[in-house]
Amino acid sequence: MKITKIELINICKVKNERTILKNVNLKIIGGKRYIFFGPSGSGKTTLLRLINRMDDPTSGEILIDGHNITELPILNLRKKIGLVFQIPVIFNGTVKDNLMAPYDIGAINSPPNDAELKHVLKLSGLNNNFLIRKASELSIGEKQRVNIARMLLNKPDVLLLDEPTSALDNSSATRLLESIMELSKVNGLTIIMVTHQLEYARLLGGQIIDIQDGAIINEQL
Amino acid sequence: MEQFNYSLININSFDLLIGLGLILIVVGLSRWQNLMLEGELIVGAIRTLIQLIAIGYVLKYIFSLDNWYLILSFIALMIIVASITVTRRQKKQTKELPYLIGIAITAGSGVSILVATQIILQIEPWYEPYYLIPLAGMVIGNSMNAATLAVERIDSEIKNKRTEIEAYLALGATSKKAASSCMKAAMRAAMIPTINSMMVVGIVSLPGMMTGQILSGTSPIIAVKYQIIIMYMIAFSVAVSSLILTTLRFRRYFTRNHQLIEEAFE
């Protein structure tokens, strides 16, 4: 079943006695694009990490299609709601080796064939020649695309992107955002992206959730 | 046991003092080279003397009692001391660590000691201290060193590979799968010294137990057979102890829900 609604209700998060999120309420509708926008340290990334349970809130609850997130099988949840980190993480070996990771760790049951690998590469904006390239030798932008392609092999409904453009130059960032937009429009993925750059937020389109000092201060379309 | 026509030369107190003279020469060398190790050398030499003489008398007493629970208590004490020693060597000394080490060493060395004494040697009575205590001492000592390496390595690997582990978790891996490369590295680090010593034994080094048996008049052929069994016991105990320890230790970094525990990384 595809995820159609995520609700965050009275979410608070306290870390090391510091309040990171204060009473956050938010409704995410499947298939749409959302941008968590705000300055560094405002709680955007913390909020993002709660949605696939990399962390849990101190109080409040998250409902996925009406079910409490803590009652859902967590490994399956993380496959359905994929998180791509700000700094891309590359495993040893080629791009193909990296794309095999979801199978190697048991997230998917059968090894993806070449056609599937090429498909996710294409969706992420990379051509087939990348499969045999050594992953550690790619540019940051290419590594970020490999991270997205790797996540796509899990066939997620929701893609959480934590400042994916932060280490990229302007033209690479624009191209990456176009690929992400494509994933949303053509494949119907729900996109939630964190950024502190307004031009990128506008470029991706969708609803901008303005977060400051751990609280949502504005939601605009 | 097959003995040579040979009588062991006793070592008296004066002989021990001559041996101590070698240490005094090293102290002189240290001062000459400005190594600043004189204090530690003297303390080390005195501790060696006192600890070994004391243990000699303790063993003599235990052997004379012929009492199985005292012998097992003595072995348990060895494991407790080993567990505390390994814990003290760690940068991050958590409350549960000595217990984890105790469980790991008991399991690894326990099985190998049981196999050696009850199946291979079939000692009579089953707790015969002349066999049980030296064998236990050697196996526990080696497992202790392996445990030190295993804990150090699993801690440093998990801390250094935190971002990689998180990436695996985000892909839907269990915490065990996400940390599996760290666990393998820790087990390898713990086992490599034992494997290396198996490679060179008899060529580069003559082990202490074998040397001791030969000195006390045992045929070298019998002594090497004992040594072979000991080496296999150690390899087994080191492998099982480090496997159990890494499996128990990695859990402190994760919640049951496959999330990283922030405090464990501080």
DSSP annotation of B3 reads B
Q: What is the mean pLDDT of residues B93-103?
A: 94
Whether residue B1 has pLDDT greater than 80: no
> With bands split at pLDDT 50, 70 and 90, how would you rate the model's confidence at B5?
low
Rounded to the nearest angstrom, the minimum Cα separation between A216 and chain B is 25
Give the C-alpha separation, B176 to B178, whole Å.
Answer: 5
pTM: 0.87
Of residues A185 and B239, the one with the higher pLDDT is B239
Q: What is the mean pLDDT of residues B84-111?
A: 93
CB pairs under 8 A between A and B: 64
Give the C-alpha separation, A153 to A147, whole Å.
Answer: 10
| Percentage of residues of chain B with pLDDT beyond 70 | 98
Q: Do A52 and B170 touch (CB under 8 A)?
A: yes
Q: What is the mean pLDDT of residues A83-94?
A: 95
Give the C-alpha separation, A172 to A194, whole Å.
Answer: 17
> With bands split at pLDDT 50, 70 and 90, how would you rate the model's confidence at B6?
low
Q: Report which residue type is found at B151.
A: V
Tens of pLDDT, residues B175-190: 999 999 999 999 999 9
Of B171, B173, B259, the CB nearest to A150: B171
Whether residue B4 has pLDDT greater than 70: no
User: By the CB < 8 Å criterion, does A78 face chain B?
Assistant: yes
DSSP readout, chain A?
----EEEEEEEEEEETTEEEEEEEEEEEETT-EEEEE--TTSSHHHHHHHHTTSS--SEEEEEETTEEGGGS-HHHHHHHEEEE-SS----SSBHHHHHTHHHHTTSSSS---HHHHHHHHHHTT--GGGGGSBGGGS-HHHHHHHHHHHHHTT--SEEEEESTTTTS-HHHHHHHHHHHHHHHHHH--EEEEEES-HHHHHHH-SEEEEEETTEEEEEE-
List phi, psi (to 5°) of A183. Answer: -60, -40
Tokens standing for residue B151 = 């804990």
Whether residue A99 has pLDDT greater than 90: yes
Q: Do B169 and A54 touch (CB under 8 A)?
A: yes
Q: What is the pLDDT of residue B7?
A: 72
| Percentage of residues of chain B with pLDDT beyond 90 | 81
Of A84, A107, A151, the CB nearest to B173: A107
Tens of pLDDT, residues A148-165: 999 999 999 999 999 998
Of residues B98 and B207, the one with the higher pLDDT is B98
Q: Which residues of A touch B164 (CB under 8 A)?
A: 89, 91
Whether residue B224 has pLDDT greater than 60: yes
Q: What is the mean pLDDT of residues B14-37?
A: 93
Map out the domains of chain B as residue ranges: 1-65, 68-265
> With bands split at pLDDT 50, 70 and 90, how would you rate the model's confidence at A141?
very high
Tens of pLDDT, residues A9-48: 999 999 989 999 999 999 999 999 999 999 999 999 999 9
| Measured distance between the N- and C-terminal CA atoms of chain A, rounded to whole angstroms | 27
Q: What is the mean pLDDT of residues B122-143?
A: 94
User: By the CB < 8 Å criterion, does A101 face chain B?
Assistant: yes
> What is the rounded average pLDDT for all residues in chain B?
93
Q: Which residues of A touch B174 (CB under 8 A)?
A: 75, 105-106
Give the C-alpha separation, A67 to A87, whole Å.
Answer: 31
Q: Please report how many Cα atoms fall inside a 13 Å half-sphere around the Cα of residue B176, on the Cβ side.
A: 6
> With bands split at pLDDT 50, 70 and 90, how would you rate the model's confidence at B228?
very high
